[in-house]
């Protein structure tokens, strides 16, 4: 295939193609057949796979106990612009070889941060021009951009919720530039992940004031992007903790309440991440159902946690039962509102070959494609929908329908209860539902 840059970084690996589940080729899709139509849309249109710039091209496998193990040629140049260009060349080579349509970035994934805001602005605008050309040449699109307002030590007490106004203003300046970059690259959405928006100790924290600041700050960011012609959706990405002891964007339900409290509900939706859901003691399915119930199922950061570890391990997804249940909610909600499936996942520290990120993304794409097919068959061929409808059928007519239509008072419920006498038990049939999932897998 034609190379977009001058060098080939992922040597010996060609375009990844669909070969079907009987293929023994590890560098082929077994289920992700991009042009196959499922439930009225191609897999490509449903899933909108995105590569996360930070994990795949910036993360080198460092952990709290040791340095990185993955040495990327694009990290060698000492000049920031040279390194950023090489990284972009590698990124676009990888994304096009995968056959994916999208990527996502933080501002300083694209290029190293400058020593001043002004210097960072110059760097960002130069790399954005370079990437805009690569985008145009390859057809790869930007699913969302975001600002890293959590790594630099200045944000140790938060960005929009920092007790020091000058840090908040600095975050505002940085987010303006990240939004400019997202708009210049025709980003379809813009994400806020409040990594340090929360507290380490309540003893030194005025929670109400910090929440008010965050609400006002997000409103200013929205107004700025809209004034620059941005038509996309803003997403908040919930996470309950890590790095802070407690983060304000705890989970989907908390964020939805916050958005309504501060008048942001019409412009913002949710970007839900699997490992964030499990850190909040929820399943991903729970988080997706909460968001869908409020019309706010915006986008997905796909990964998985570890059942034995209580931290954000960001592994690639591979559990077919879980992803099938998630895709059932996805299909029933009519898909995502503006977003896609972004692999916010990293290969393990001891995965050190250049082909390992290919295996990781192939596996991720295949599990979602397979789950999409299964979920569609469950909806179209099994008794699943009928069984749920049956559980609620007492609300379809008579007094149940009157209740749903707001026609009954509490006293009316009392009269009905008196007249009914004792009730027979209605089984929830959970095991039968579980068997249907298993049968279609």
- The binding site for ligand XUL (CB under 6 A) comprises 106, 146, 191, 193, 237, 239, 273, 301, 312, 344
Distance separating alpha carbons of residues 105 and 144, to the nearest angstrom: 7
One symbol per residue from 341 to 360: x for binding Co ion (CB under 5 A), - otherwise; what is it?
---x----------------
One symbol per residue from 293 to 312: x for binding Co ion (CB under 5 A), - otherwise; what is it?
--------x-----------
Tokens standing for residue 75? 């990290």
The single residue listed with the structure tokens 């990185």 is 68
| Cβ at position 275, least distance to ligand XUL in Å | 7
Tokens standing for residue 383? 């008794």
Nearer to ligand XUL by Cβ, of 101 and 301: the residue is: 301
CB of 232 closer than 8 Å to CB of 338 = yes
DSSP-assigned states of every residue in 386-430: HHHHHHTGGGSSHHHHHHHTT---HHHHHHHHHHH-S-------H
**Which of the 8 DSSP states describes residue 204?**
G
Distance separating alpha carbons of residues 108 and 58, to the nearest angstrom: 10
Q: Does 109 bind Co ion (CB under 5 A)?
A: no
Binding-site member from 273, 287, 314, 322 for Co ion (CB under 5 A): 273
H or E element, residue 268: strand 268-273
* Residue 106 annotated to the active site: yes
| Cβ at position 42, least distance to Co ion in Å | 25
| Cβ at position 142, least distance to ligand XUL in Å | 14
Distance separating alpha carbons of residues 55 and 105, to the nearest angstrom: 10
Distance separating alpha carbons of residues 95 and 103, to the nearest angstrom: 8
Query: What does 325 interact with, of ligand XUL, Co ion, none (CB < 5 to 8 A by kind)?
Result: none
Rg (CA), the chain: 24
Query: What does 146 interact with, of ligand XUL, Co ion, none (CB < 5 to 8 A by kind)?
Result: ligand XUL
| Cβ at position 237, least distance to ligand XUL in Å | 5
- Catalytically annotated residue among 33, 89, 101, 109: 109
| Cβ at position 58, least distance to Co ion in Å | 14
Task: Mention every residue, 6+ apart, whose C-beta is less than 8 A from residue 273.
Answer: 237, 238, 239, 300, 301, 302, 303, 344
Query: What does 109 interact with, of Co ion, ligand XUL, none (CB < 5 to 8 A by kind)?
Result: none
- Catalytically annotated residue among 55, 106, 213, 282: 106
Applying CB under 5 A, which residues contact Co ion? Answer: 273, 301, 344
Catalytic residues: 106, 109
């Amino acid at each position: 295939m034609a190379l977009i840059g001058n060098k080939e970084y992922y040597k010996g690996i060609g375009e990844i193609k669909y070969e079907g589940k009987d293929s023994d080729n590890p560098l082929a899709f077994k289920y992700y057949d991009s042009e196959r139509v499922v439930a009225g849309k191609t897999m490509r249109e449903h899933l909108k796979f995105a590569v996360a710039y930070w994990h795949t091209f910036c993360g080198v496998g460092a952990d709290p106990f040791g340095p990185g193990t993955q040495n990327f040629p694009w990290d060698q140049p000492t000049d920031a612009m040279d390194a950023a260009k090489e990284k972009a060349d590698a990124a676009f080579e990888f994304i096009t070889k995968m056959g994916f349509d999208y990527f996502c970035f933080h501002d300083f994934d694209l290029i190293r941060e400058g020593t001043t805001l002004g210097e960072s602005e110059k760097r960002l605008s130069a790399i954005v021009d370079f990437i805009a050309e690569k985008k145009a040449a390859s057809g790869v699109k930007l699913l969302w951009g975001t600002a890293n307002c959590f790594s630099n030590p200045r944000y140790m007490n938060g960005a929009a919720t920092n007790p020091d106004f000058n840090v908040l203003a600095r975050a505002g300046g940085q987010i303006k530039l990240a939004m400019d970059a997202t708009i210049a690259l025709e980003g379809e959405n813009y994400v806020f992940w409040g990594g340090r928006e929360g507290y380490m100790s309540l003893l030194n924290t005025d929670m109400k004031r910090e929440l008010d600041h965050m609400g006002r700050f997000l409103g200013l960011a929205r107004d700025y992007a809209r004034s620059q012609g941005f038509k996309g959706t803003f997403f908040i990405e919930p996470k309950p903790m890590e790095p802070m002891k407690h983060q304000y964007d705890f989970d989907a339900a908390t964020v939805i309440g916050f958005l309504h409290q501060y008048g942001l509900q019409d412009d913002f939706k949710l970007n839900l991440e699997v490992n964030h859901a499990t850190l909040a003691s929820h399943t991903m399915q729970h988080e997706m159902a909460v968001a869908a119930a409020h019309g706010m199922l915006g986008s997905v950061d796909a990964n998985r946690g570890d059942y034995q570890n209580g931290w954000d391990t960001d592994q690639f997804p591979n559990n077919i039962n879980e992803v099938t249940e998630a895709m059932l909610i996805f299909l029933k909600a009519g898909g995502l509102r503006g977003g896609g499936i972004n692999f916010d996942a990293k290969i393990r520290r001891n995965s050190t070959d250049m082909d390992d990120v290919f295996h990781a993304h192939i596996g991720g794409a295949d599990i979602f494609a397979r789950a999409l097919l299964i979920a569609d068959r469950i909806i179209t061929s099994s008794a699943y929908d009928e069984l749920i409808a049956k559980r609620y059928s007492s609300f379809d007519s008579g007094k149940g329908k009157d209740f749903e239509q707001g026609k009954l008072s509490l006293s009316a419920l009392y009269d009905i209860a008196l007249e009914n006498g004792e009730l027979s038990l209605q089984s929830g049939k959970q095991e039968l539902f579980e068997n249907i999932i298993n049968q279609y897998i």
